[in-house]
Every structure is written in C-alpha cells, then in structure tokens.
Structure 1
Amino acid sequence: MPVFESTEKMYEVLGGLFTGLMNDEEVFEKALKANITILFNISEPNGQIWLDPKSQGVICGKADLKPDVTMELSGDTCHHFWLKNISLPVAIAKRKVKTKGPLPKVLKLLPLLKPAHEAYPEIAKANNLPL
C-alpha cells in the first residue's frame, strides 16, 4: 500500500512541505535566482506538484506552465527522499526518479533543501506516515 492514501493527502503533506520551503526567505531567494520551474509527476497516488518561484510558488495539480525540469517518481520515493533514506543521485541511478531537463541545475538546488529534510520527519509523524 502506498505511503500516501490519496492524492489529496499527498498534496496536503508534500504541498505543505514545499510551501514551507518557499516561505523560507533564504531558500526562496536562491530558488528565484536559479530561475527554474520544476514539475514533479508523481504516481501512487497520481498527481502533479509544481515549484515555480518565478511566479506562483507551489501549485498542487495541473498548471498551464512550461517546466524547465520534469521529475517522474512515486509518492513513496518522495517520502523516502525527504526522510533521507535515499539520495537524489542514487534514486536517479536506480531509475526510481526519471528526469527531463538540465539536471545540473536541479543538483545545484540540493543544498537548499536542508530545511525541508529537517522539517519532513515531523510532518510525516504529524500525518501518521511511517518513518
């Protein structure tokens, strides 16, 4: 059974995590300077989460935007990434994450994700997700 019981729950948890990340002034400024729109196409459950600091921040669901980078992965892979059980380079190498677009740009953003990695275990716990 997938970690997220529904798309709505996934949006609540991951959308909230990303919104918190974009509300961090330092992270937001660096994301804005990176000038990148990322689309997460997530399966199990199916959904889309957009990170677009240039205009709208975080969008859960379909949007009329053009992504610079698309990442395809499962909800479970998202969950394990934020718990630091799997690194992005390893997930890509094992094809748990499929990417389209300039991956070096995404990899430069990884250090900015530290606040999200720190916050996610508590978010997961508060939402009764396995740790």
Structure 2
Amino acid sequence: MSANSLMKRLRAIQWSWLGLMVLTAISVAVFREVRPVCSGLLLGEVGGLFVIFSMIRQGHLNDDVQGQLLFASGMMGMFARLALIVVIMVISLKFKALFNPYAALVGYALSFVFIIIGMYRYAKNPPDQRR
C-alpha cells in the first residue's frame, strides 16, 4: 500500500463516520420512543468526529516532526480527547431527559472502533519503506 492508498483509506473512514452520523440523526427524528438513546448516541458521535479528525488527519505525515515534539503533540491530542469525553459526559448527565449517558459513551467509543477497523488492513500490509 502506498501513501495514496493510506489517504484513500483515511477518507473512507471519515466518510463512513459522517454516514453513521446522518443515520443516527435520522433515527433521532424517526424513533420518538427511544429519542434520548438516539440523541445520546448522536452527541457521542459528534464528539467522536473530533476523535476521527484529530487521529487520522495528515498531522505529521509530511513535516518530519520527531522526538519530543512528536511526543508532545500526541500528549496534547490525548488530553484534548480526554477533556472532550468529560464534556460529553457532563452534558449528557446534566440533561438526562435529552441524552442517554451510556449511549453518548458508546457513540464516542465507536470512533475508536471505526479507526481500528478501518486501519486494520493497512496495518496487515504496510507500504514498502525502502524507496
């Protein structure tokens, strides 16, 4: 796999995530009896959108950042994602009538599942680095 195929795979992950968000938004409108669960899932997915973009955007693909700067960048991303889940859980717990907290947590965690499943094939067949 080349860098071009990696970028195609990352775009596929992004578009499939946006498709899942659209389906969840439609389910919020259609299924009124389980609206708190669906809207909690959508709240978590909105937070998961940040996870998707922060973890798979081009990042340091072309700027040769290494060592301490790369470590600091990764730590900042990790803390930003941690702070985001705290915000999502506070919102879902504050407005329990609107958002199911468990569904919000599942919606957020699904973003990591999408990344792992989407990158599995790339990890099994990495590109040739000898060029």
TM-score bracket, normalised by the shorter chain, equals: 0.3 to 0.5
Which of the pair is proportionally richer in helix?
Answer: 2
What TM-score, normalized to structure 1?
A: 0.36
Higher relative contact order, chain-length normalized (CA < 8 Å, sep 6+): 2
What TM-score, normalized to structure 2?
A: 0.36
- Which structure has the greater CA radius of gyration? 2
